[in-house]
Amino acid sequence: MTKKKITQHPLFLPLVCVLLVLAVNVIYDISQGNGIFNFFITTIENGVLQGRLITILNRGSEVAILAIGMTLVVSASAGTDISVGSVMSLCASFCCMLVAGYGVSAVSSPEEFSMPLIVGILGALLMGCLCGAFNGTLVAYLNIQPMVATLILWSAARAIGLLLCNNLIVYVRVPEYGIFGGYIGFLPTPILIAAVCILAVSLVLKKTAMGMYIQSVGINKKASRIAGLNSRRIIFICYLLCGLCAGIAGLVNSSRITSADSNNIGLNMELDAILAVALGGNSLGGGKFNLAGSIIGAYTIQAITTTMYNLGISSAVTPVFKAVVVIVIVAIQAPPVRIWFQKLRAQNHKEVARV
Amino acid sequence: MEGNVVLTMRGICMTFPGVKALDHVDFTLRKGEIHALMGENGAGKSTLIKCLTGINDFEAGEIHVDGIQGTVKNHSTLDAQNVGISTVYQEVNLCPNLSVAENLYIGREPMTPFHTIDRKAMMRKAAELTQRLDIKVDVAQNLENYSLAIQQMIAIARAVDMDCKVLILDEPTSSLDDSEVEKLFKLMTMLRSKGVGIVFVTHFLEQVYAVCDRITVLRNGTLVGEYPIADLPRVKLVAAMMGKDFDDLADIKPEGSQDFSNASMVIEAKGLSHKGTIKPFDLNIRKGEVIGLTGLLGSGRTELARAIYGADKSQTGTLRVKDQEVKINQPIDAMNLGMGLLPDDRKAEGIIGDLSVRENIILAMQAKRGMFRQISRAQQEKIADEYIRLLQIKTATRETPIKQLSGGNQQKAILGRWLATDPDFLILDEPTRGIDIGTKTEIQKLILKLAGEGKSIMFISSEIEEMLRTCNRMAVLRDGAKVGEIDGDLSQERVMAAIAGGASE
Amino acid sequence: MNPENTLKQRKEINGNTLLLLITIVLFVVLYAGGCIAYSGKGFTNLQTFLNILISNAGLICVACGMTCVMLTGGIDISVGSLVALDCMLLAYGMGNWGIGAPAMCLIVLVVGLVFGFVQGFCVGYLQIQPFIVTMAGMFFARGMTAVISTDQLSITAETSQTFYDWANFRIYLPFGGVANRQGKIIMPYFRIGVVVAILILILIFLVLRYTKFGRSLYAVGGSEQSAAMMGLDVKKTKLKAYVLSSFLCSIGGICYCLNTQSASVAQASGLEMDAIASSVIGGTLLTGGVGNVIGSFFGVLINGTISSIVQTNGKLASAWPNILTAALLCFFIVLQSIFAFLKEKKK
């Protein structure tokens, strides 16, 4: 009986995934003749934290931030926002355009901001909200299927970003700009930003009734309306927040490379974010959600990516594995497969009873 | 099998978890007759039809169809079609984006020698068929260009063309206007003359008497009887459907009828309506009053309540709440005016299945307070526990997902949700449907208690007895309109006569 | 029939085909605008139009497949990546494995069939949302392209003489010649890819109109429940739709490769967007059940005209076609949504 209870815990699936990834890493270390727990060794070199674990936490920040927004969107509207990667890129480009000045080419990379950094940051976040509001309007008020609605920005946002940057990779060679992707003291800033985002959203979910509203709308829109919730507005807010998260993630990513590389920032990130939600044990069919699961899912994905990199697999190939994982997870949740499993279990029970 | 009998069902039994849906029901259909299948909610009409068409698996009993050796047991609607049983539902099961001709012939199109569809032959055959049945349509037009009545006739034409011997019409007239119903009846009588057996399920008594030859009445999953139409006047039919057997519930109604003429007005509705569901109506409700809405299912009793609450926004008329003229655009507006609605479809509009009992109970209260003023967890638990105790909700814990509870307990939790908002005016739409007798009494007692505390209640139920026990006044609805009010002496005979309408013989 | 009735019906015909009409008008206006603005740069030449066809031959095939899937109410966003995979298979197979062009084309088509079968199975029989399935398919195909090779490959005469000949074969029109700078008259021409694309277009048009399979696509898109009630196999129809989409996508991939004669991981990125936009612009409803490949063809032409105008201009950033396509898609999606709302209200 207790065994059954463990598998039913909401964090069971994500934690199993984490353990699997860790196991692969440990086996890899052993086969390479490294220390068994090489993976976990964290040192301070040149005044900053180093180690593979830290790398995963650091690099996984963007996916973790995106996963927050994606979790809310999936829960409320039973659809996913596939524009997050492109919106990241757009926000990064917009920020760089603001602080570097429009029309600045890569060659004349500026040594100082043409506008205060804070304007750039606010601009990027505002742009994220704007994109989110666009998606939200289409989904909540015009009743367009979420994925079709977000398809528009998925294609257009990156192109608009390119336009803003004059079709170039804009470098911002001011040290302050790199701080969001760099270090504060000995701690990598992205980890801090992700932590702040996670804390803020958890706090909102804990201190307001938003979490219940979102789940309620996601589970039963009609009943929620009768009970006095404004279903459309709640869905809209979720998309808005998802856009904001994409904006923050875009800033972090852009700061990491101190430039706006429109073609590569946030590339394939939407898959990672959706995968994080699915790995976190959340149903892509909407309804109940578990933010902690999604966050663990996000870092798991980063761990997979990093591990594959360590194993010498090209980063262009990793989508193959991720795609297979997505399909397997979704297939397990699919109604016909569930019914099939139930039948199988019932048959087993019968056989046991007969014996 | 007798010469002119086309379908017999004998001793059909069927159980849903916890409920005996059909208990040894018999049904006989003859060639060339229109046979009404009548019964209130939960009587087992749709279950019986689903057993016949293969959607439900019945446990015991047998079905014989004319011209087929042995018993028939269908496993899908396709099986049923193959033995000559076709069904036309209220929501037409055709493709609106295809032409009339295609809807008639899809899946069995005439083919050319090159294995392509012979569109010309299809059009020709479709035109012939519609002409033969006197349906005036252009078969090349898309189905969606035609009214629902025509669409239904096309569905019937498809069934007829597939050599059906038994045609089941499940609530075909619910969304048709009078002239459309007329057209449909003409088609039905024509098919009757061609020897098709028609099972007609409807809630409109007028229509039964307009076209049917015979009536079978079901109640609570059992057969009440089969009658030729002449032997069963309206009032008797209503009595048969509703049942007269008084159960052994204590008479809980307080002695003497109260006088509310001095109580303050809570709701004054003037000319409210919702297009297509309820015609304009006036209704006044005073403080502390229990008003019952009575009428058969589909008479507009649910729709009236929803128009007041703003669940279906009223397009006309004015509404005054506590002497203030108000505009209700959505449910939250009504809630802020102190209203609450317990919807009749518990699963679709009541429970939030995956959320816990606690969350389901506090949901409306939280919605009223707004998102940013969250009720603290301790408070939530206190409120939830209070209503779980007060309403005796049987649940493992307050954190159990509500979908795991039984229907009655789900209903109590939803009731708790509304009580928690402390409403002045509470609409209860079929609060006792599908729940056990003990719970029913509790809910009735609760209604009286609430009324005693000065709350106004609107009570909708299919069961006359419980309405008689609890209501001070009743509004009667028929065919989507409010047709009258009964107060003072509420007797079963008066109410039934009012529901049946027309000339009560 | 009384006059009132006929009048009402005519109105409704317009409502149904209004989207397609808007599309055709839009194309004519766009093209005429291009002709007026860039008449000096040879936009009025017949060859410009044929060039639009030549460079979009692959897209026409892909859009035909997309339309079939969208008719069932689904969507297939894996097509761009599948085209990239096809190109990579062709280039790498002919260059590094030494397989002949015809055999390699056959392999590509088989890959398309298998790919479509898996996707169709997941959508039809496992009832997973088409978007999730094909998104995974998109990343899978793109990743597999990288598995084969991450290099930029080009197909030359050395890679495969046959393929090279196919790619450079010109079919001249007997009219509409224009004198070039040396005064020599050059007849307008098109290539093999265009022939394939037009044949596919006609074939799919006939399939959609005259076969049971074609009509069941419409029926499933119109109402899945009704289609099942009327005895159609909904799951199988969906499976077939996805197989057809991927298969046509593979043919489109070959046409695409004939045009570009190269392969790389990043190739044809955003093609799915063009295909979806073409279908939607051409009057295919996202909810399924309504649409036509002829409309999609005009959608492709609009797409091609936009890129052609941007190219001819020469000063506009390369991102513009992408943005304009997305804006058009947005416009038509909102239009569809408004139409659906009005229809609902009329009831």
Domain assignment present for residue B238? The answer is: no
Contact (CB<8Å) A147/C286 = no
Residues in chain B: 505
What are the tokens at B484?
């009258």
d(CA B140, CA A326): 45
pLDDT, tens digit, for every residue of C96-135? 888 888 899 999 999 999 999 999 999 999 988 888 899 8
Find the largest Cα–Cα distance for chain C.
Answer: 72
pLDDT of residue A1: 37
Q: What is the Cα–Cα distance from B211 to B199, expressed in whole angstroms? A: 11
Asked if the structure places residue B288 within a domain, the reply is yes
Q: Does A198 have pLDDT greater than 90?
A: yes
- Test A144 with C139 for CB contact under 8 angstroms: no
Nearest to B367 among A210, A222, A227 (CB): A227
**B330: containing domain:** 253-338+425-505
What average pLDDT does this structure show over C246-261?
93
Which two three-digit tokens encode residue A324?
């297979």
Confidence grade of residue C7 (pLDDT, cut at 50, 70, 90): very low
Chains that touch B (3 or more CB pairs under 8 A): A, C
Q: Best of B354, B381, B410 to disrupt the A interface by mutation (most A CBs within 10 Å)?
A: B354
> Does the distance separating the beta carbons of C135 and A317 come in below 8 Å?
no
Whose structure tokens read 């180093």?
A50
SS3 per-residue string spanning chain A:
CHHHHHHHCCCHHHHHHHHHHHHHHHHHHHHCCCCCCHHHCCEEECCEEECHHHHHHHHCHHHHHHHHHHHHHHHHHCCCCCCHHHHHHHHHHHHHHHHHCCCCCCCCCCCCCCCCHHHHHHHHHHHHHHHHHHHHHHHHHCCCCHHHHHHHHHHHHHHHHHHHCCCCCEECCCHHHHHHHCEECCEEHHHHHHHHHHHHHHHHHHHCCHHHHHHHHHHCHHHHHHCCCCHHHHHHHHHHHHHHHHHHHHHHHHHHCCEECCCCCCCCHHHHHHHHHHHCCCCCCCCCCCHHHHHHHHHHHHHHHHHHHHCCCCCCCHHHHHHHHHHHHHHHHCHHHHHHHHHHHHHHHHHHHHC
Question: Looking at chain A from residue 207 to 246, which residues have their Cβ under 8 Å from any Cβ of chain B?
Answer: 207-210, 212-213, 215-216, 219-220, 222-230
Residue C185 has pLDDT above 50, yes or no: yes
Tokens for A141?
Answer: 């008020």
Alpha-carbon separation of residue A5 from A2, A8, A10, A289 (angstroms): 5, 5, 10, 19
Q: Looking at residue B173, what is its pLDDT?
A: 77
Put simply, whether C270 touches A (Cβ < 8 Å) is yes
Q: B90 pLDDT exceeds 80? A: no
How much is the pLDDT for B255? 46
pLDDT at residue number C181: 72
Of residues B97, B115, B145, nearest to C222 (C-beta): B97
Residues in chain A with CB shorter than 8 Å from the CB of B367 are: 213, 227-229
**DSSP characters over B371-418:** TTSPPPHHHHHHHHHHHHHHTT---S-TTSBGGGS-HHHHHHHHHHHH
- Listed residues B422, B448, B482: the one ending a domain: B422
Give the count of domains, chain B: 3
Task: Assess if residue B204 is contained within a domain.
Answer: yes
Taking residues B363-370, what's their average pLDDT? 90
**B294 and B433 both lie in a single domain:** yes
Question: pLDDT of B94-140, one tens digit each?
Answer: 888 889 999 998 888 888 888 888 888 999 999 999 988 888 888 88
| Spatial separation of the C-alpha atoms in residues C225 and C193, rounded to whole Å | 40
pLDDT confidence of residue A108: 47
Per-residue pLDDT reduced to its tens digit, B302-353: 888 898 998 888 888 888 888 888 888 889 999 999 999 999 888 888 899 8
Query: Is residue A166 less than 8 Å (CB to CB) from chain C?
Result: yes
Side chain identity, residue C91: A
d(CA B13, CA B61): 6
Of B93, B107, B142, the CB nearest to C16: B142
Tell me the C-alpha distance between B429 and B304, whole Å. Answer: 11
What is the Cα–Cα distance from B358 to B349, expressed in whole angstroms?
17
Identify the pLDDT of residue C347.
56
Q: Which comes out higher in pLDDT, residue C210 or C269?
A: C210
CB B139 within 8 A of CB B126: yes
Contacts of C231 in chain B (CB under 8 A): 78, 81, 107-108
Among B77, B81, B96, select the one facing C222 at the smallest CB separation. B96
Interface contact B354-A215, CB threshold 8 A: yes
The most confident of A27-31, A333-337, C120-124, by mean pLDDT: C120-124
Contact B367 A222 (CB under 8 A): no
Across chain C, what does the average pLDDT equal? 86
Nearest chain A CA: its distance from B345 CA (Å) = 10
Residue A5, chain B, CB below 8 Å: the answer is: no
Q: Which residues, 6+ apart, have CB-to-CB distance to B113 below 8 Å?
A: none
Which are the contacts of B413, defined by CB distance < 8 A and separation ≥ 6?
B351, B357, B360, B361, B387, B388, B391, B393, B395, B402, B405
Q: Does residue B301 carry a pLDDT above 80? A: yes
CB pair distance less than 8 Å for B93 and C221: no
Residues from chain A that touch B313, judged by Cβ atoms under 8 A, are none
For B458, B465, C260, the CA distances from B293, given in Å and listed in that order, are 7, 13, 73
Q: Which residues of chain C lie closer than 8 angstroms to B119, CB-CB?
A: 209-210
| Cα of A317 to nearest chain C Cα, Å | 5
| Intra-chain end-to-end CA distance of chain A, in Å | 20
Q: Which of A212, A288, A289, A290 to mutate to test the interface with B (most CBs of B within 10 A)?
A: A212
Same domain, B139 and B59: yes
pLDDT at B19: 66
The CA–CA distances, whole Å, from B314 to A65, B305, B306, B331, B478 equal 44, 11, 9, 12, 19
* Chain position carrying tokens 């057997």: B245
pLDDT at C3: 39
Query: How far away is chain A from the Cα of B377, in angstroms, using its nearest Cα?
Result: 10
Same domain, B20 and B134: yes
Q: Hey, is the C-beta of A126 within 8 angstroms of any chain C C-beta?
A: no
**Averaged pLDDT for residues A59-75:** 94
| C-alpha to C-alpha distance for B208 and B215, rounded to whole angstroms | 8
Q: Tell me if chain B has a CB within 8 Å of the CB of C331.
A: no
Domain ranges of chain A: 62-298
- C135–A271 CB contact, under 8 Å: yes
Q: Pick from B120, B46, B126, B59: which is nearest to B94 by CA?
A: B126
Residue A125's contacts (CB-CB under 8 Å, 6 or more residues apart) are A91, A244, A247, A248, A251
Name the token pair of C171: 């079919």
Q: C211 contacts in B (CB within 8 Å)?
A: 115-117
**Last residue within a domain, chosen from B398, B422, B446:** B422
- Contacts with C267 (C-beta within 8 Å, 6 or more apart), sequence order: C83, C84, C87, C88, C145, C260
Candidates C75, C126, C136; nearest CB to A336: C126
Tell me whether residue B245 is in a domain.
no
pLDDT of B181 > 50? The answer is yes
> Does B415 share its domain with B432?
no
Global ipTM = 0.81
Mutation target to probe the C interface, by most C beta carbons within 10 A, among A152, A267, A277 is A152
A229–B352 C-beta distance less than 8 A = no
- CATH code of the domain in which B315 resides: 3.40.50.300
Specify the pLDDT at position C290: 87
State both tokens at C330.
């947005």
Q: What is the pLDDT of residue A6?
A: 62
CB of C290 less than 8 A from some CB of B: yes
Alpha carbon distance B498, B159 (integer Å): 37
**Can you give the length of chain C in residues?**
347
Asked if residue C219 has pLDDT above 90, the reply is yes
Which DSSP state fits B139?
T
- Indicate if B118 and B94 belong to the same structural domain: yes
To the nearest whole angstrom, how far is the Cα of A353 from the nearest Cα of chain C?
A: 31
Nearest CA distance, A163 vs chain C (angstrom): 6
Q: Can you give the pLDDT at residue C111?
A: 95
Cβ–Cβ gap A327/C150 under 8 Å = no
Test the C interface: residue of A134, A317, A328, A339 with most C CBs within 10 Å: A317
Name the strand (E) or helix (H) holding C111. Answer: helix C101-124
pLDDT attached to residue B248: 39
pLDDT tops 60 at residue B251:
no
Name the residue among A215, A228, A230 with its Cβ closest to that of B355: A215
Distance CA B402, CA B413 (A): 8
**Model confidence over B372-408: pLDDT tens digits?**
888 888 999 999 999 998 888 888 888 989 988 877 7
Nearest chain B residue to A220 by CA: give it.
B352
C218's tokens: 């419409």
B479 versus C330: the higher-pLDDT residue is C330
- Within 8 A of B329 by CB-CB distance, chain A residues are none
Please enumerate in sequence order all residues whose Cβ is within 8 A of that of B427, keeping only pairs 6 or more positions apart, or say none. Answer: B305, B308, B309, B339, B340, B341, B342, B457, B458, B460
- Alpha carbon distance, N-terminus to C-terminus of chain C: 23
Q: Which of C140, C150, C322 sits opposite A314 (nearest CB)?
A: C150
Q: Are residues B88 and B194 in the same domain?
A: yes
Which residues lie across from B316 on neighbouring strands? Answer: B273
pLDDT (tens digit per residue) in C24-57: 888 999 888 888 888 777 777 888 888 889 999 9
pLDDT, tens digit, 9 for 90 and up, residues A304-314: 888 888 778 87
Cα–Cα distance for residue pair B502/B499, rounded to 1 Å:
9
Residue pair A320/C143 in contact by the 8 Å Cβ criterion: yes
What are the tens digits of pLDDT across the range C265-305?
A: 888 888 888 898 899 888 888 888 888 899 999 999 998 99
Q: Which of A81, A151, A145 is nearest to C336 (CA)?
A: A145
Comparing CB atoms, the residue among B96, B106, B142 nearest residue C230 is: B106
Q: Which amino acid is at C107?
A: I
How many A/C residue pairs have CB atoms within 8 Å?
128
pTM: 0.82
CA C240 to each of CA B216, C68, C106, C121: distance values in angstroms, whole numbers, following the listed order: 46, 10, 19, 9
Give the tokens for residue B213.
Answer: 């030859």
* pLDDT at residue A106 in the model: 47
Classified as helix, coil or strand, C49 is helix
Are B431 and B444 in contact by the 8 Å Cβ rule? The answer is no
> What average pLDDT does range A245-261 have in this prediction?
91
In the numeric block, the tokens 């609060």 are attached to B431
Closest approach of B198 to chain C, Cα-based (Å) = 19
| B146 DSSP 8-state letter | S
Of A173-177, A179-183, B127-131, B296-300, least confident by mean pLDDT is: B296-300
**Residue in the structure block whose two tokens are 């090489």:** A38
Q: Is the dihedral of CA B188, B193, B194, B200 positive or negative?
A: positive
B117 CB neighbours in chain C (<8 A) are 209-212, 215
Q: Which residue of A has its CA nearest to B351?
A: A223
How far is CA B340 from each of CA A197, B107, B363, rounded to the nearest angstrom? 38, 49, 12
Q: Report yes or no on B243 lying in a domain.
A: no
Nearest to A147 among C131, C265, C327 (CB): C131
CA–CA distance, C136 with C168 (Å, rounded to integer): 35
Among residues B422, B455, B479, the one where a domain terminates is B422
Residues B18 and B164 in one domain: yes
Q: What percent of chain B has pLDDT over 70?
A: 92
Q: Is residue B246 part of a domain?
A: no
Residues B219 and B293 in one domain: no
Burial state string for B3-27 with b = 16 or more CB within 10 A and e = fewer than 16: eeebbbbeebbbeeeeeebbbebeb
Q: What value does the mean pLDDT take over residues B253-277?
A: 75
The pLDDT, as a whole number, for residue B71 is 82
| Residue B247 lies inside a defined structural domain of this protein | no
**Confidence band for A236, pLDDT divided at 50, 70 and 90:** very high
Phi and psi at C189, nearest 5°, equal: -135, 165
Count, residues in chain A = 355
Residues B435 and B418 both lie in one domain: no
pLDDT at res. C86: 93
pLDDT at position B41 is 64
The mean of the pLDDT values for chain B is: 83
Q: How far is CA B51 from CA B63, B90, B155, in A?
A: 10, 18, 21
Predicted confidence (pLDDT) at residue A73 exceeds the cutoff of 90: yes
